Structure 1
Amino acid sequence: MDPSGICATARHDDPRAIRLDRVRRLSGLMATASVAVAVLLGIAMLLYWCLTPASTLFRHAGLALAPPTDIGVAMRFAAFAVAMIPLGALIVSLLSARRCFGCFAAGRIFSADAARSLRGFALGVAAAALLKPVAGAILSLLLSSLSPAHTRALALNLGSDTVLSLLFAGMVAIIAGVLVEAADVAAENDQFV
């Protein structure tokens, strides 16, 4: 019998090989999706700050002040830059997720690179969660300076989404740290073989 035919048949019957193949395919899709979402988030944020009416921007910033009739390009750009700080951290985390899924797609499931990329993802999510309320407070000050009443307002929004994001990021970071240690131990053991 042809050895390659035997291997091909065994591969189709091997549940572990089937699962690994599924992980590789799904990981490839997730790597692509991570990049696509990162790009789309940046574009969506730019469009939001370019096209959203002043009244909606004030409402979303938690300001009960009367908005100006229009917000100039310079202020919209400044607000976009501030809003991109937490979103930038999230985009960096998505790129770390892409690297992690790329390792999985290449079959390096328990590699140190995959675990470190997973930890980078978790740290990026945590940074975004911590920076979001700070950026929101800065945005409220920026936008309130445009109010026709010339009143400044500071809106600080801390919600359950921030707490849940931090909890999620902490759990994933700890799991990734354990995987990094496991990969390092496995690499040390491979040196002795």
Structure 2
Amino acid sequence: MNTPTLLPDRTRLVCRVLKWLALLILVLMVAAYFLLDVSSTILDSAWEGLQPHVREDVSYSGGKKLLLHVLAAIGYFSLTLIVIGAARVFSVFQKGVVFAPAAVRAVRFLGLTIFLFAAVQLILPTLMVLGLTYDNGPGNRALTLGINSNTVILLMIGAVILVIGQILTQATDIAHENEQFI
């Protein structure tokens, strides 16, 4: 049986360095969330988007605070999934094998995390404002809808990486089939 095609040593070294850099970034992101009170910063940005007359009617119950902090955590930690996905891709490629099921899974996971992050960022502001104002009186509830180009671009990038993952699946199948003939 033929040895699998390996990536050049230089590429493998770059992947190794990038994997550890991604893991360091992941640790820093998690630490920053708790040390810098990122959740409150996210809530403050949602609060600033409300009209003054709507703000006056907002009351914070324990359940509402919990809901808002959970939404803020989901929004923040969805970004960490991208970093985990990138570290996973770099980890697979540092081994040098490209046409392997592990590489396919890693690339697909990265595409899925980017797509999910963009989807979360698309609906999160709306959910935050709804969470702030759902129990306000009539006329003082708010609903915000917003789509920005960055979110649309991230959705497209995630979709493209998912397609590349599917193409890599086909390439892996072809490489495995070719190994059988040699």
* Fold in common (TM above 0.5): yes
Specify which of 43, 50, 58 is matched with residue 63 of structure 1. Answer: 50
Show the counterpart of 2:3.
none
Shift of residue 70 of structure 1?
9.4
1:36 paired with 2:27, answer no
What are the ranges of 5 or more consecutive residues in structure 2 without an aligned counterpart?
1-5
Show the counterpart of 2:155.
166
Q: Which whole-Å CA distance do the structure 2 matches of 1:57 and 1:86 have between them?
A: 12
Alignment partner of 1:63: what SS?
coil
What are the ranges of 5 or more consecutive residues in structure 1 without an aligned counterpart?
1-16
Aligned residues between the structures? 173
Show the counterpart of 1:107.
96
The question of whether the paired residues in 2 share the 8 Å contact of 1:54 and 1:70 is answered with no
Instruction: Out of 80-89 and 157-166, give the one that drifted further.
Output: 80-89
Shift of residue 145 of structure 1?
5.1
Alignment partner of 1:179: what SS?
helix
Name the amino acid aligned to 2:11: V
Name the amino acid aligned to 2:160: M
- 1:151–1:36 CA distance, 2 compared to 1 (3 A): farther
Name the amino acid aligned to 2:8: L
Shift of residue 187 of structure 1?
1.2
Shift of residue 117 of structure 1?
0.7
Q: Which whole-Å CA distance do the structure 2 matches of 1:94 and 1:45 have between them?
A: 15
- 1:37–1:63 CA distance, 2 compared to 1 (3 A): farther
Instruction: Out of 36-45 and 144-153, give the one that drifted further.
Output: 144-153
Specify which of 5, 11, 15 is matched with residue 27 of structure 1. Answer: 15
1:155 paired with 2:144, answer yes
Between the aligned residues of both structures, percent identity stands at: 24
- 1:76–1:21 CA distance, 2 compared to 1 (3 A): farther
Specify which of 128, 135, 139 is matched with residue 139 of structure 1. Answer: 128
Q: Which whole-Å CA distance do the structure 1 matches of 2:169 and 2:176 have between them?
A: 11
The question of whether the paired residues in 2 share the 8 Å contact of 1:118 and 1:173 is answered with yes
TM-score with structure 2 setting the length? 0.76
Residues 120-179 of structure 1: per-residue CA shift (max 9 Å, x gap):
111111111112222211101122358799822111221111110011112222122111
Q: Which whole-Å CA distance do the structure 1 matches of 2:52 and 2:135 have between them?
A: 10
Higher relative contact order (CA 8 A, sep 6+): 2
The question of whether the paired residues in 1 share the 8 Å contact of 2:46 and 2:125 is answered with no
The question of whether the paired residues in 2 share the 8 Å contact of 1:30 and 1:98 is answered with yes
Larger Rg: 1
Instruction: Out of 133-142 and 149-158, give the one that drifted further.
Output: 149-158
RMSD of aligned alpha carbons = 3.2
